[in-house]
Amino acid sequence: MTASSSFRFAAFTASATIGVLAGAGSYTFVKAEGLSYMSDDPAVCVNCHIMREQYDGWRHGPHRAVATCNDCHLPHDTLLNKLFVKGSNGWNHSREFTLQGFAEPIRIKPGNSQVLEANCRRCHATAVGDITAHGTLGVPSDPLQQADLYGCVRCHQSAGHGPTR
């Protein structure tokens, strides 16, 4: 295991432990929704009505037949990394959901958009080999990161969830 993934493993164990110990937050996490993160079935993402908009969008989007939530939103490099991101997202979102403290409209976080773009390119490597060969198209791609706007979603924002306006 690489240095980074072993760190991630430690971090994951840590977040999992906190999850178990952390009262109300972890109650929600365990009760249902958090666990959803351990499944690959889109239906369970929408255990949270808060994910409804994205779920519906995905079901009308161009990828409904070919990619589920986790194909795009979880890392597919190492299993550990996948589990780690699942764990921490599940933990964050459960906590946010319980505390209702998150900002709306919900927006993908920098870390997760890196995961996302890696997945676009994982599946479309052939299609985009030429345009990426001489320099990344570029995560971070989310304007909210105050960075340049490049990366797949700059033009394919609707790939995941259909037109958003």
Q: Does residue number 130 form part of the binding site for ligand HEC (CB under 6 A)?
A: yes
Helix, strand, or coil (residue 137): coil
The two structure tokens encoding residue 150: 């490049």
Contact between 128 and ligand HEC per CB under 6 A: yes
- Tell me the number of residues near ligand HEC by CB under 6 A: 60
Please, are residues 113 and 160 in contact by the beta-carbon 8 Å criterion? Answer: no
Does position 76 interact with other proteins (CB under 8 A)? The reply is no
160 binds ligand HEC (CB under 6 A): yes
Nearer to ligand HEC (CB atom), residue 5 or residue 47: 47
Q: HSE, CB side, 13 Å, CA atoms: give it for residue 117.
A: 23
Q: How far is CA 99 from CA 26, 29, 71, 76, 94, in A?
A: 12, 12, 28, 30, 8
Rounded distance, CA 16 to CA 6, Å? Answer: 15
Among 115, 120, 114, 110, which residue's Cα sits nearest to residue 143? 110
- The residue among 23 and 165 lying less far from other proteins, judged by its C-beta, is 165
Q: Taking the mean position of all CA atoms in its chain, how far away is CA 8?
A: 16
Q: Which of 93, 127, 160, 161 binds other proteins (CB under 8 A)?
A: 127
136 binding partner (options other proteins, ligand HEC, none; Cβ < 5 to 8 Å by kind): other proteins
Helix intervals (H) in 101-158: 110-123, 125-133, 153-156
Select the residue interacting with other proteins from 49, 65, 66, 101 (CB under 8 A): 49
Residues 68, 41 contacting (CB under 8 angstroms): yes
Shortest distance (Å) from residue 93 CB to ligand HEC:
3
Q: Which is nearer to ligand HEC, 5 or 92 (CB)?
A: 92
| Contact between 135 and other proteins per CB under 8 A | yes
Give the binding site for ligand HEC (CB under 6 A): 33-34, 36-37, 42, 45, 47-48, 50-51, 54-55, 58, 62-63, 66-73, 89, 93-94, 96-97, 102, 106-109, 112-113, 116, 119-121, 123-124, 127-128, 130-132, 134-135, 137, 142, 152-157, 159-161, 165
